[in-house]
A and B are shown apart, each in its own frame.
Chain A
Amino acid sequence: MTGVPLLRIEGLRVELPTADGILRPVEVVDLDLAAGERVGLVGESGCGKSMTARAVMGLLPPGARARGRVLLDGRDLIAMDEAALCRLRGRRLALISQEPLTALNPVKTIGAQVAEGMRLHFRLTRREAAARAAELLDRVGLPTSRFPLHLYAHQLSGGQRQRVAIAMALACGPDLLIADEPTTALDVTVQARTLALLEELSLERGMALLLISHDLSLVAEACGRIAVMYAGRIIEEAPSGALFGHPAHPYSDGLLAAIPQLQASAPGGGPAPLRPIAGEVPDLRHRTAGCGFAPRCRLADAVCHGSSPPLEARTGDRRLACFHPLAEAKGR
């Protein structure tokens, strides 16, 4: 990667003090995003991907604390006060999340909500903002001829609401859009269209996209690079094709083998057998000192249980946190 990355997450930790002690939904995350790049952050429940997104935006739940550095164009977001962060949110970085139902205010019109950010950051008049809102809604596939600005959220379907949320996020032309499970609550065909839209917008506007999802295949389509998280850490990061073709971490490999395929078949016809990963994702409260995946890993040994492998750079633009990576040559 040439030059300074747009977003650099360095040693991010998120701590949550509770009655059971201090929990760490995010143990340590280091990740870079170049301008205009699309990166996927993938993992199952409890891996910390959503918390990472919130930490970047400065929108952690009450009581949670972020440590480490999150540099946007060199400025540390974690060290900033709320006022400075407010100036950045919407303008330089934006977030869309999973539930379009709650992302929109039910008592405001969609036009007003899209215009809100613009009026705040650019001080546009109501008329100017409305005109730009109409353009944006048009761009996301909701032309005002059929979707006038005075519509309310309850008059729209889930997919339509998510598009409004995207228009709201785009309104001030952010450099980075974080999309946290943006299509999980949507139908499959709507999902495909929404992702295609996000890709187009990213290309058109040179906007970086951090796409967070539990769905590996989905992220692989939209993003050039994928980081896989498990138990609060990134355990593997590689270009999409390389990750799918030859995953190096046993967890990534296990995940890929556990996903049912629609197109690929077994040699004798019919779907390939699924190989589940034994055990379950560890509870936040029961993390050990060793590798988070060790209890479920067939390659784990004493070293793995003893300490957590650091995330290190490997060949082929890949980073890996594992003491016993799978042979690079393994095909899929």
Chain B
Amino acid sequence: MNGAPDLLNVEDVVFDYVLPRRDLFGSAPVRRALKGVSFRLADGESMGLVGESGCGKTTLARLVMGLARPTKGRILFKGQDLARLGPKALARLRPGFQMVFQDPYGSLDPRRRVEAIVAEPLVGLGRDRRRAREAKVADALSAVGLKAGDGRKYPHEFSGGQRQRIAIARALVVRPALIVADEPVSALDVSVQAQVLNLLRKLRADHGLAYLFISHDLAVVRYVSDRVAVMFDGSIVEAGPTEPLFAAPRHPYSRALVAAVPGGDRRPALAVAGDASHPRSEPAVPDEGCAYAGVCPYAADLCRRERPRPRALEPGRLVACHRAEEI
């Protein structure tokens, strides 16, 4: 971290989903999706968030975007606690952080023209007059490689890759400081994926954007991010600069993830008992102890008793594992 003021500060965030009630009395059961997550993002920094389904990365993205409030903990954007802001104050901050979604078909309103879609964040702000808005929309469209004339068309006239560019233009039009991208290329073909990834890199360089880039695809995250955090079952298990982390992951889960990517030695991935251990209807993990202990090949008694907190193995590299030094 380069000493610059933090753009985004996530402090010990906990989030519970309320589940449908089982019985009439007593409180409704909850599922703890985030179990105390903390990290910081500076201006212009790009951080990747990787993990498999159920790890909480999408929930975290929604919280960072202020679309939901954390059950505990704080999320600070430019020093302001999002949960404490009223709707008007939040709306004023909005241009600072925008989001790009996974589904290029669902993230654009099929009944509106592209120019209206891209202009929407500006309309929400309510600051510019129409001509100024139109100019900004045209700028945003050309920044993502589309033509100004494309604004008159409807989403269904575009392909998946182009729609994702439109979504990026929409995020860009208010000149945000931070873009949260939730699996932005997962639904795209490989050849198109590369186009959009290159575009994201270029935009970052041109506009000094910070990214919070969420993906299950490690190689994609590597391409776009300076730092990475690996999540498992609601916690960050390892975090650090991208290259060293992927080259030599320290946490057993990170190792399993890296090994699972086709092309390398797969054995660490296969060693994890993972999904074959029990049906979904049974609780997967006890509340105490390391969440990963149930399937970790290195699990010891300590691991099952006590939840490991992230600690710095080297400057800048955090690992939440009791046995990180030994393995």
Contacts and interface: CB of A to CB of B under 8 A. Distances in A.
Do the two chains bind?
Answer: yes
Interface of A: 44-45, 141-142, 146-147, 151, 155-160, 163, 187-193, 196, 214-218, 220-221, 254-255, 258-263, 265, 269-271, 273-277, 280-281
Interface stretch (B35-43, B109-117, B215-223, B313-321): B215-223
B262 A218 contact: yes
Interface string B139-179: 00000000000000000000101100000000000000000
B263 A192 contact: no
Contacts of A280: 159, 161-162, 191-192
B194 A189 contact: no
Contacts of B52: 187-190
A259 B279 CA distance: 35
B185 to A, nearest CB: 9
Contacts of A160: 275-276, 279-280
B189 to A, nearest CB: 4
Interface stretch (B65-73, B79-87, B266-274): B266-274
Contact of B281 (A155, A159, A192, A261): A155
Interface string B182-196: 000000011111110
B190 A262 contact: no
Interface centre among B161, B216, B218, B223 (most CB of A within 10 A): B223
A214 B186 CA distance: 12
30 contacts: A146-B278, A157-B279, A159-B274, A159-B276, A160-B275, A163-B276, A187-B275, A188-B269, A189-B257, A189-B274, A192-B259, A192-B260, A192-B269, A193-B269, A193-B270, A214-B190, A216-B190, A217-B263, A258-B193, A258-B194, A259-B190, A261-B219, A261-B222, A262-B246, A271-B219, A271-B223, A274-B197, A280-B159, A280-B191, A280-B192
A281 B162 CA distance: 12
B256 interface: yes
Interface centre among B53, B190, B217 (most CB of A within 10 A): B190
Contact of B222 (A163, A191, A214, A260): A260
Nearest to B262: A217
B243 interface: yes
Contact of B266 (A147, A196, A220): A196
B261 interface: yes
Interface residues of B, number: 44
Contacts of B53: 158, 187
Nearest to A272: B223
Contacts of A190: 52, 274-275
Contact of A260 (B216, B223, B264): B223
A146 B277 contact: yes
A187 B272 CA distance: 13
Given A156-B280, A187-B52, A271-B223, A262 B264 contact: yes
B258 interface: yes
B189 A45 contact: yes
Given A146-B279, A215-B262, A260 B192 contact: no
Contacts of A216: 190
Nearest to B192: A280
B228 to A, nearest CB: 11
The SS class assigned to the B binding surface is helix
A125 B288 CA distance: 47
B216 A188 contact: yes
Contacts of B192: 276, 280-281
The SS class assigned to the A binding surface is loop
Given A155-B280, A189-B256, A189-B272, A276 B194 contact: yes
Given A189-B272, A193-B275, A261 B260 contact: no
B252 to A, nearest CB: 11
A260 B193 CA distance: 9
Given A157-B275, A260-B197, A44 B262 contact: no
Contact of A270 (B159, B194, B243, B276): B243
A196 B268 CA distance: 13
A189 B162 CA distance: 31
Contacts of B259: 192
A258 B190 contact: yes
A156 B281 CA distance: 7
Nearest to B258: A262
Nearest to A142: B276
B213 to A, nearest CB: 12
Nearest to A220: B262
A192 B266 contact: yes
Contacts of B243: 265, 269-270
A297 to B, nearest CB: 12
B237 to A, nearest CB: 13
Contacts of A159: 274-276
A263 B276 CA distance: 28
A190 B217 CA distance: 13
B278 A44 contact: no
A216 B191 CA distance: 12
A212 to B, nearest CB: 15
A188 B191 contact: no
B269 to A, nearest CB: 4
Given A147-B279, A260-B219, A280-B159, A192 B270 contact: yes
Interface centre among A190, A192, A254, A255 (most CB of B within 10 A): A192
Interface string B98-116: 0000000000000000000
A129 B180 CA distance: 51
Contacts of A146: 277-279
Contacts of B266: 192, 196, 221
